[in-house]
Amino acid sequence: YYYESIGKAWDKAQASGAVSLDERVDLRLAATHAVRTCANVTRAMCDLGGGSSVFLSSSLQRRFRDAFVGAQHMMIAPQTYEFTGRALMGLPTDASFL
């Protein structure tokens, strides 16, 4: 979904020089889904790593921190679901966030 959304938007931007609101919605939703899925997979790996995964000597702790800090960025935070949902349902929304 992520790569497909990027490909469609890229093709459209190259052809017309612009990306529509619908394509921006799709990009944001795809990026949010990808990042949040990666963060959840990282959490699962830390769970499987047990208590040792929290120590600085564990490579899992750094990956866990990076995944969850990245998932908090405003462009892919959970609030994205509200913006994209409103746009997909045709409700008024501030498109500057998309």
Q: What is the pTM of this model?
A: 0.82
pLDDT of 79 reads 85
Q: How far is CA 1 from CA 37, 41, 60, 87, in A?
A: 12, 17, 27, 18
Q: Which two tokens stand for residue 32?
A: 């949010």
The predicted-structure confidence for 48-63, as pLDDT tens digits, reads as follows: 999 988 898 998 999 9
Q: Which residues contact 65 (CB under 8 A, 6 or more apart)?
A: none
Rounded to a whole number, what is the largest CA-CA distance in the chain?
53
* Whole-number Å distance between alpha carbons of 67 and 61: 10
Compute the mean pLDDT over every residue in the chain, rounded to the nearest whole number.
90
Instruction: Show the low-confidence residues of the chain (pLDDT under 70).
Output: none
Q: How far is CA 91 from CA 20, 21, 30, 48, 62, in A?
A: 17, 13, 20, 42, 40
